[in-house]
Amino acid sequence: MGERITSPVVPVSRNRSMSAACMTLAGKILMTTKKTAITLLLALLLALLLGASCIFLGAPPVETSRAAEPARPVEPARAADPTVQIEERQREIRKMSAAMLIIGRFLKNEGATVADVGTSADIIRAVAAKMVDGLFPQGTEVGVGRSGARPEVWQQWDMFRERASDLIKATLQLTAAAATGKAEAVQTPIRAVGQACAACHELFRRKRP
Ligand code: HEC
């Protein structure tokens, strides 16, 4: 219900105070009537009639329409859903493991080429960069949704950043090695990439529930 409209406190003539009382009555009818469609309509008509006579009596017009307007519900700002954030993060991270699978196929001589290894390194690097740029918002640790991110991620954020940056460096070396086109050149950098994954998981990841 809207606020009760009160007449301004100004010295009024006898006639005007009469019309002010009349307006208050019109307002009260609107306030107290139950708001089913029909009663509201009737109340509105009655209030309009009263309002009209109030005007006739020389009072300022009553804002009947404003009094009758239902309060608009205020929609609260929607907070980002941590469960969705976690799912999106894990989907993003799985791009890294898919890239690692391709690298594995190269190592096992199962069709992937040195060029594929280079492309995979680029994919991993892109995700590693996102890891410290939005993929781990506060409130998405183990215990929330199906997160496998230990609280240490946020408690030791600098260390976490360092682990991500180690992975970025390792993938840069792998990209450079793959660019030579030589299968021998990528062996050592591939191992370094795998170690960078493991080094971060050791501290910051728990197998997800
Ligand atoms: C900077 C730290 C860090 C690095 C580096 C890192 N990870 Fe992770 N990884 C995590 C964390 C933390 C989680 C848990 C995320 C979650 O469950 O929300 C995770 C989860 C995963 C998951 C599970 C995803 C899922 O579907 O739940 C896979 C697979 C994975 N990482 C693979 C890798 C691979 C492959 C690499 C290296 C190419 C890598 N990670 C490098 C921190 C890291």
Which of 52-61, 118-127, 150-159 is predicted with the least confidence, judged by mean pLDDT? Answer: 52-61
Closest CA relative to residue 167, chosen from 194, 203, 148, 187: 194
**Do the beta carbons of residue 27 and residue 1 sit within 8 Å?**
no
Closest CA relative to residue 70, chosen from 42, 45, 33: 33
Q: Is the CB of 197 under 6 A from ligand 1?
A: yes
For ligand 1, atom 11, name the residue with the nearest CA: 205
User: How long, in residues, is the chain?
Assistant: 209
List, for residues 88-114, the tens digit of each pLDDT value: 999 999 999 999 999 999 999 999 999
Q: Is the CB of 208 under 6 A from ligand 1?
A: yes
Q: Which residues contact 111 (CB under 8 A, 6 or more apart)?
A: 105
The yes-or-no verdict on residue 46 having pLDDT over 90 is no
pTM of the model: 0.69
Which residues partner with 149 through β-bridges? 205
